[in-house]
Structure 1
Amino acid sequence: MNGASQLHAPLYQPQLLVQGLSRDLDRTLLHPVGGEPISARAFRDMVSRYGQALVASGARRGSRIGVLSANRPEVLVITAACLVNGHILVPMHPAGSLDDHLHVLEDAAIELLAFDPDRFAEHAAALSGSATPCSFLSLGPCASGSDLSVLADSMAAAPLVAPQIDPDEPYRFSYTGGTTGKPKAIVGTHRTGRAVVEIQMASWEWPSQVRQLVCAPLSHAGAAMFLPTLLRGGSMIILPDFDPVKVMEAIEYHRITCVMLVPTMIYALMDHPRFGEYDLSSLETVFYGASSILPSRLKEAIGKFGPVFFQFYGQAEAPMTISVMRRDEHDIEDPLRLASCGRPVPWLTVALLDENLAEVPEGEPGEICVRGPLVMERYHDRPAQTAEALAGGWLHSGDIAVRDAKGFLRIVDRKKDMIITGGFNVYPREVEDALASHPAVATCAVVGIPDDRWGEAVTAVVVPRAGEKPVAAELIALVRERKGPIQAPKTIHFATALPLTSLGKIDKKRLRAELAAAAWELNDA
């Protein structure tokens, strides 16, 4: 790129990262709970050394680097090293199943997989049997892989230099589920990555001093909080995962000013018998999103925590922020306002459209559709699904909402059958396939039922084979083994038949209504 072309060039995540690690280097940047604080200088040097270690292990620009780990500083170090080196990060969800991780490994053609030996040594050993040629790098001593930490420690830290950026170049594959089969990868480009940070910096309500507690997965939403924290001169206190008591202890001890939670985490904190024992008064902002929150419980939370709640609404195809509801917009006397996902941010064009792509009138339901730099480029190797998601020059969210006179959006339904439970996406078809693999199951259907704790509870209706009497706990255990704990049904109901539409398809709308009316014989675990 010559001087003239650089004159008006924007900065992307790699440049923002390098700039952020060039000042105030003696301040604490990361502090793993129970571990030693890491300064900005030390983090910068770790990024350099781990970046060199990845290259020494065979990574080149465009190489796909997988990460499978609980929350620990190395996850952020590798994420940053991939940005500086021009690798494509492919995070695996720590709560995912072995089948899901194997699919991601093969679908993304991951070349190097860095894994946490404390949690995933056996998992990595099983994945090493894949036909995909992949080198396994352990974040510590482990027989299942080469020790990336030792290799990184052997490198001499060098100045970080951000690469020249093509805004259409991929920097991340983010896997999401699909109602028709295996998870698919959303190709995140540098243009999208820049928009994520820009919107967060401009539209989110950050405390004047950012001391952020991280208990969401750093492989996913937790990592999106890193660059804004860095650029605002803040620090991140890291928990390995979510535990209500440890969260409250950390807030009190570290005087946490902000934290990102999903609704089920908020419920777990409020409902914990020790909630009143801790001083949580340092909290200025609780960022929440990823799934809907019950208005009654949000009102209760505001009463217990104070007016500190800030909602963000987005999806993996338009990451983190399509709309926001600011702290002072949470009107506890207005249940419809508390059921809202806020108003669109000014960096995007957001419209509620009907099936003909015409905007619906105020108060009428329409699909949330989005245009702008935040929107994904495509799904990896899935042109038909890409065309469907981006039909007519809009990203189709699949969420049906109404807009009130003040511009607030309220999601009333989803076009697809995706279940959001505890802030995680569950796709019924995958659960149904796992259940149907049991020899005593003739057919089944899985839906989400409103639940005070989970937002939606994964609920299954099973039709047994003639003469068979499957056990609910056994079926739940089967799904837990095949798909992981998040996908496992909270409740199993048994029936002699499933309701069908006139076209012979399972009528899930009617099924949900009948379940809500307790029309089924209950068999829960």
Structure 2
Amino acid sequence: MYISQTLRRAVQLNGNGTATVFAGRRQTWREFENRIARLANGLLDLDVGASDRIAILALNSDRYLEYFYAVPWAGAAVNPVNIRLSPPEIAYTLNDSGSKVLFVDDAFAALLPSLQSQIESIKHVVFIGEGKCPEGCIDYESLVANSERISDANAGGNDLAGLFYTGGTTGRSKGVMLSHNNLVFNALNVVAEMGYDCDTVYMHAGPMFHLADMASTFAVTLAAGTHGIVPRFDVDEVLAFIEQEKVTNTLLVPTMVNLLASSGRIANYDVSSMKRMLYGASPMPESVLMSAMEQMPTASFAQGYGQTEASPIITSLGPEFHIAGGEKLRSAGRAALGVEVLVLDENDEELPNGTVGEICARGANVMLGYWGMESATAETLRNGWLHTGDLGYMDEDGFVFIVDRAKDMVISGGENIFSVEVEGAIYSHPAVQECAVIGIPHEHWGEAVHAIVVLREGSRASDSEIIEHCREKIAGYKVPRTVDFREEPLPVSGAGKVLKNELRAPFWEEKNKRVN
């Protein structure tokens, strides 16, 4: 399988059809493909070679989508950077991946001065924004205009297609290596699940760096549909775009669905073109889902469960199971096409239906491994199965129900936040003796980061001081929203590990499961 084959198919099937719509710009699939072939040549002129990593730090745009295709056309691999990271975290991602070229837009060009002293491998910065090209950067449109078409490098199969960084349980982010086979297989799966075709108008409203949105990036192209793109999620901008462009499909994380449903503004726009709304990346509160379904009656809702390591779809829950009060609505759905899912015990033996264990998967969607982390790869892919770290059970009909997470991960607003990383920031405060970070229920974000702190004897610190200290160390979305102080030591197991289940229990007493 080849990423570029999805583009060639779109040109064959719908060459004069609309490929992208963004900020008043429109182009056909034939025009899009021509720009890809020229931009790829421009990358080669920047000394980009086979499997070199090309990073991007930008808001959504039509040029972001061109990046996703020009890089593999040139035989290289993408590295989409999380736009919510702090400068030190961005620098780590770029350095660890050894990225050679960085694409950046207006929103992030201001970070370049602070990044330049920290990044080691970046040789060229390409400006893809709308404003004036910053000094020292290469203008994107000039790079395209001054380059001739080249033939596709035909990178494919198990060649590295991209590095996608996810949070690390030891404070080190892991670069998930996904191949062409991984991403195109996932695209085939999503086309089947979502019913994409040439008449599809998909709206990119979630961040394009995120695999949740990217689940449809290559799928919509494969189906020769249209990519409608908004820079970032905004309630009125999204609703206006749906009305103006007659959007038929989109993916939103539950936080976004909640913002739409609670805004009271859906009725102000014509959203009757919506056929299918996919949601995922974190659990969806049933009350929010029901409200959204009521306000958008033409849209069928579907859920996708997965993770970056699975490119990302593992299970799906179709519209036929989205019934108020339905038992299956509480599930994460059933194994996606071509994906095998089992619930295994600690010895990797399959558990009986209804028994809680670790959710594991295998299929052509499962990653090549973690970049430069052989032991972590072996542990996650042991015995041929992707171990998700999520705990759940399967019923007699094959529906997977998630009940907790084996790893101490907090999912807030669709973003994975690992407690060890946050704890590392807190522990660097001189007044802190002990700390533990947990996820607690939050009405809008699903979960919120909560810190429990024991101060050193004779030391003082306020909750606001701890929060501001963290803000200097880690990305804003990872910073604790609340802090509790305790005088007694944190509870530990016989092995000396903090018993986070005990710390979480009071906050989740009214919940029937440990994810919100």
| 1:133 equivalent in alignment to 2:121 | yes
Residues in 2 aligned to 1:511 and 1:300: alpha-carbon distance in whole angstroms: 32
Q: CA deviation at 1:173?
A: 0.7
| Equivalent position of 1:69 in the other structure | 58
- What secondary structure, in the 3-state scheme, does the structure 2 residue paired with 1:242 have? coil
Q: How does 1:489-508 map to 2 (within 5 A)?
A: 489-497=480-488, 498-508=490-500
| Equivalent position of 1:344 in the other structure | 335
Q: CA deviation at 1:452?
A: 2.3
Q: CA deviation at 1:321?
A: 1.4
| Equivalent position of 2:173 in the other structure | 183
| Equivalent position of 1:217 in the other structure | 207
**Cα pair distance change 1:480/1:269, threshold 3 Å:** farther
- What secondary structure, in the 3-state scheme, does the structure 1 residue paired with 2:172 have? strand
**Cα pair distance change 1:417/1:143, threshold 3 Å:** same
**Cα pair distance change 1:146/1:474, threshold 3 Å:** farther
Q: CA deviation at 1:45?
A: 2.1
Say whether the 8 Å CA contact 1:138–1:144 is kept in structure 2: no
Say whether the 8 Å CA contact 1:65–1:113 is kept in structure 2: yes
Q: CA deviation at 1:379?
A: 0.8
| Equivalent position of 1:324 in the other structure | 316
Q: CA deviation at 1:254?
A: 1.9
Say whether the 8 Å CA contact 1:15–1:162 is kept in structure 2: no
**Cα pair distance change 1:278/1:164, threshold 3 Å:** closer
Residues in 2 aligned to 1:152 and 1:511: alpha-carbon distance in whole angstroms: 55
Matching residue's letter, 1:100:
E
| Equivalent position of 2:139 in the other structure | 147
Residues in 1 aligned to 2:21 and 2:98: alpha-carbon distance in whole angstroms: 33
| Equivalent position of 1:28 in the other structure | 18
Unaligned runs of 5+ in 1: 1-10, 519-525
Q: CA deviation at 1:162?
A: 3.1
Residues in 2 aligned to 1:203 and 1:492: alpha-carbon distance in whole angstroms: 42
| 1:114 equivalent in alignment to 2:106 | no
Say whether the 8 Å CA contact 1:348–1:374 is kept in structure 2: yes
**Cα pair distance change 1:134/1:346, threshold 3 Å:** closer
Say whether the 8 Å CA contact 2:202–2:247 is kept in structure 1: yes
| 1:95 equivalent in alignment to 2:87 | no
Residues in 1 aligned to 2:319 and 2:264: alpha-carbon distance in whole angstroms: 27
Superimposed CA distance per residue, residues 286-329 of structure 1 (whole angstroms, 9 cap, x where no aligned partner): 01111111223223332232361111111111122111111111
| 1:59 equivalent in alignment to 2:48 | yes
Residues in 1 aligned to 2:12 and 2:465: alpha-carbon distance in whole angstroms: 55
- What secondary structure, in the 3-state scheme, does the structure 1 residue paired with 2:401 have? strand
Residues in 2 aligned to 1:101 and 1:386: alpha-carbon distance in whole angstroms: 23
Say whether the 8 Å CA contact 1:184–1:379 is kept in structure 2: yes
Say whether the 8 Å CA contact 1:187–1:378 is kept in structure 2: yes
| Equivalent position of 2:300 in the other structure | 308
**Cα pair distance change 1:150/1:269, threshold 3 Å:** same
Matching residue's letter, 1:129:
S
Q: CA deviation at 1:205?
A: 3.8
**Cα pair distance change 1:113/1:208, threshold 3 Å:** closer
Matching residue's letter, 2:321:
E
| 1:444 equivalent in alignment to 2:439 | no
- What secondary structure, in the 3-state scheme, does the structure 2 residue paired with 1:37 have? strand
Matching residue's letter, 1:128:
Q
Equivalent pairs counted in the alignment come to: 503
**Cα pair distance change 1:155/1:346, threshold 3 Å:** closer
Residues in 1 aligned to 2:276 and 2:472: alpha-carbon distance in whole angstroms: 37
User: Which shifted more, 179-188 or 501-510?
Assistant: 501-510
- What secondary structure, in the 3-state scheme, does the structure 2 residue paired with 1:181 have? coil
Equivalent residue for 1:226, pick from 217, 222, 234: 217
Equivalent residue for 1:513, pick from 502, 505, 509: 505
Residues in 2 aligned to 1:147 and 1:217: alpha-carbon distance in whole angstroms: 23
CA RMSD of the aligned region, Å?
2.0
- What secondary structure, in the 3-state scheme, does the structure 1 residue paired with 2:473 have? helix
| 1:419 equivalent in alignment to 2:407 | no
| Equivalent position of 1:397 in the other structure | 388
**Cα pair distance change 1:179/1:161, threshold 3 Å:** same
| Equivalent position of 1:479 in the other structure | 470
User: Which shifted more, 462-471 or 305-314?
Assistant: 462-471
Residues in 2 aligned to 1:43 and 1:479: alpha-carbon distance in whole angstroms: 43
Q: TM-score, normalised by structure 2?
A: 0.93
Q: CA deviation at 1:417?
A: 0.5
Q: TM-score, normalised by structure 1?
A: 0.91
Residues in 2 aligned to 1:469 and 1:144: alpha-carbon distance in whole angstroms: 47
| Equivalent position of 1:172 in the other structure | 162
- What secondary structure, in the 3-state scheme, does the structure 2 residue paired with 1:351 have? strand
Q: CA deviation at 1:284?
A: 0.9
Superimposed CA distance per residue, residues 103-136 of structure 1 (whole angstroms, 9 cap, x where no aligned partner): 11111111111111x1112322222213623222
Matching residue's letter, 1:329:
F
Residues in 1 aligned to 2:283 and 2:90: alpha-carbon distance in whole angstroms: 27
| Equivalent position of 2:235 in the other structure | 244
Say whether the 8 Å CA contact 2:88–2:118 is kept in structure 1: no
- What secondary structure, in the 3-state scheme, does the structure 2 residue paired with 1:86 have? coil
User: Which shifted more, 100-109 or 246-255?
Assistant: 246-255
Residues in 2 aligned to 1:137 and 1:251: alpha-carbon distance in whole angstroms: 31
Say whether the 8 Å CA contact 1:442–1:465 is kept in structure 2: yes
| Equivalent position of 2:348 in the other structure | 357
Say whether the 8 Å CA contact 1:75–1:219 is kept in structure 2: no
Say whether the 8 Å CA contact 1:293–1:339 is kept in structure 2: no
Q: CA deviation at 1:79?
A: 1.2
| 1:278 equivalent in alignment to 2:269 | yes
- What secondary structure, in the 3-state scheme, does the structure 2 residue paired with 1:94 have? coil
Residues in 2 aligned to 1:39 and 1:92: alpha-carbon distance in whole angstroms: 27
**Cα pair distance change 1:447/1:378, threshold 3 Å:** same
Matching residue's letter, 1:184:
K
